[in-house]
Structure 1
Amino acid sequence: MSTQSAGTVSKSKIGHSVPKGYLSPALTYPVITICTILLVWEVIGNLGFIDPFLFSWPSKIMKSMWQFTLNGVVFRHLMISMIEVGVGFIIALIGIPIGLALGYWRKLDYAFDPIIIALYTTPIVALTPLFILWFGLGTLSKIMMVFTMSIFPILINTMAGVKTTEASLLKAARSYGANELQIFREVIFPSSLSYIITGIRLGIGRAMIAMVVAEMLASTQGIGYAIRHASELFKTGEYLGYVAVLMVLSVLLNQLLKLLERKISPWRQ
């Protein structure tokens, strides 16, 4: 009986199984950390150590968020911002096939790698006035900013994924008579999938930055404009409330991508 118990314990340790009725540490640890930070922050604010003119604390931020949620202002701004991010990011996904091609054919990589690195390291945010001059003050300039800032993480990570594909897999596929299209579909793309997802996750962060900066500089609607408008009126709680909306949205999008990665590439877990 003791031997059986020992075997059960050993198996449990090796498999890192979680007993039924217990929450996963991946969920409980972040919740505990965030709640602790918010509690300390709230206490410091209520004790008067924070100047509300310069900063704010959770209860005041939540009050501002509740107000602009009730009057529907946040949804109008979000709709505009999400259209700009969504369209620009969908166009930026063209970086996946381009990255697959550049990663696979070395001559293309040699030809375009310096250009890609130069554009990637260029502070695109500094070119925002130029985008507005080219594409106007409307939605198109924001879409192009999102596209330009988000395509390079996708493209570069896809290239890295292709280059890390094991040569033995490619040799095995060719030995079985696979053509180039089959090699891409059955070997290179599955092997690069985690890199592609990582590039998409990084691209989302840069897309959000591009959208906010463009709207702050030249827009009368959108979350970026709302942040600028609230800061100009020194409404610190409202300003941080809109920032919190962006943070929550970014976290949700990244969690959805994690779920997608687990679904389409379970062998990577």
Structure 2
Amino acid sequence: MTETSRIEVPPALAPHEARTQLLRLSARAWLRNHATRPERALQLLILATILGFWEWFGRRADPLTFAPPTKIAAEFVDMTRSGELPRALGQSLLALSVGLALAVVVGIAVGYAMGWWTVVGRTLDPFVSALYVVPIVALVPAMIIWFGLGLTSRVLVVFLFGAFEILLNAYAGVKNVDPYILDVARTFGASRLDLLRKVVFPATLPFLFVGLRMGASRALKGMIVAEMLFAVTGLGRLIIVNAGAFKMSGVLVVALTVAAVGILLTAIIQSVERRVMRWRG
């Protein structure tokens, strides 16, 4: 074999170098799949149109009733530098995370129990239906009397806002499992635990993730409602303070911050859904 025909074999990469290169390739693939989609260009066009019209209208509107994006951005920088916005955001996220976590655990557990055991479902169904239609806002004054203005009341409001959507979707998912599939699994000797873990749980995942998205959005609304009614802490307090001072730019900064939190929550749930339900393609 001549020198010119010799094939050069690249040296083997070290484990940490291979991992780094794999992460880079994955990041590039993600950017190609998400940043180059046709709908991204359309979304950016819609966003630019909305911001342009917003800026045009905001500059001509009464500053006491509206604010353009440029003024909102400047206010966001001021509130961030002063620490006012990060401090309120941290207080709100604490109540939201604890309340939503409790709503997820209790909602899934009770929903699965109601769907799996007929006696439990028939017993709890009227109570769940009654509590679901009760306006939670009407109970907030009672919660203030019972638990005060601290974290406990806010967590409870967030929990009540988010739990029922998760519970009802988990319940509906279990009830909609095909009985024929359960019979086939029993024929092959599956125990009740195997049925619940290997048949019912995968079949209810679409219902469950819908419930999680709805429950998270309602929990976020519950967080703001609680804080606005308590008016002592968090993003809700910032809304009340800025609205009372007719500072529309501050109100819109908080509103957009809440929207960003909601988008982040939805993105996290969708990311988990894609990882858990890869079999759906």
Is the structural similarity TM-score above 0.5?
Answer: yes
Mapped partners of 1:215, 1:160: distance in 2: 32
1:128-156 per-position Cα deviation (integer Å, ceiling 9, x unaligned): 11111111111110011111111100000
SS at match of 1:234: coil
Structure 2 alignment gaps of length 5 or more: 1-31
**1:38 and 2:51 aligned:** yes
User: Which position in structure 2 is the counterpart of 1:153?
Assistant: 165
User: Which position in structure 2 is the counterpart of 1:29?
Assistant: 42
**1:70 and 2:105 aligned:** no
8 Å contact 1:170–1:187 — kept in the other structure?
yes
Q: 1:101 to 1:236 in 2, by over 3 A?
A: same
Which of residues 187, 194, 211 in structure 1 aligns to 2:206? Answer: 194
Stretches of 4+ aligned residues off by more than 6 angstroms: 19-22
1:100-151 per-position Cα deviation (integer Å, ceiling 9, x unaligned): 1111222322222121111111110121111111111111100111111111
1:244-269 per-position Cα deviation (integer Å, ceiling 9, x unaligned): 00001100110111111000011234
Q: How does 1:216-235 map to 2 (within 5 A)?
A: 216-235=228-247
Moved more, 178-187 or 32-41: 32-41
Which of residues 40, 57, 66 in structure 2 aligns to 1:55? Answer: 66
Mapped partners of 2:51, 2:224: distance in 1: 25
SS at match of 2:65: coil
Shift of 1:31: 2.5
8 Å contact 1:205–1:250 — kept in the other structure?
yes
User: Which position in structure 2 is the counterpart of 1:165?
Assistant: 177
Task: Give the alignment's Cα RMSD to 1 decimal.
Answer: 1.7
What is the letter of the counterpart of residue 268 of structure 2?
L
Shift of 1:21: 10
Mapped partners of 1:243, 1:198: distance in 2: 24
What is the letter of the counterpart of residue 101 of structure 2?
I
8 Å contact 2:231–2:237 — kept in the other structure?
yes
What is the letter of the counterpart of residue 62 of structure 2?
D
Which of residues 128, 133, 143 in structure 1 aligns to 2:140? Answer: 128
Which of residues 91, 114, 119 in structure 1 aligns to 2:126? Answer: 114
What is the letter of the counterpart of residue 41 of structure 2?
T
What is the letter of the counterpart of residue 86 of structure 1?
S
SS at match of 1:51: coil
Structure 1-normalised TM-score? 0.88
SS at match of 2:129: helix
Q: 1:224 to 1:21 in 2, by over 3 A?
A: closer
Aligned residues: 249
Shift of 1:20: 8.2
SS at match of 1:182: helix
User: Which position in structure 1 is the counterpart of 2:192?
Assistant: 180
Moved more, 221-230 or 32-41: 32-41
What is the letter of the counterpart of residue 185 of structure 1?
R
Q: How does 1:224-263 map to 2 (within 5 A)?
A: 224-263=236-275
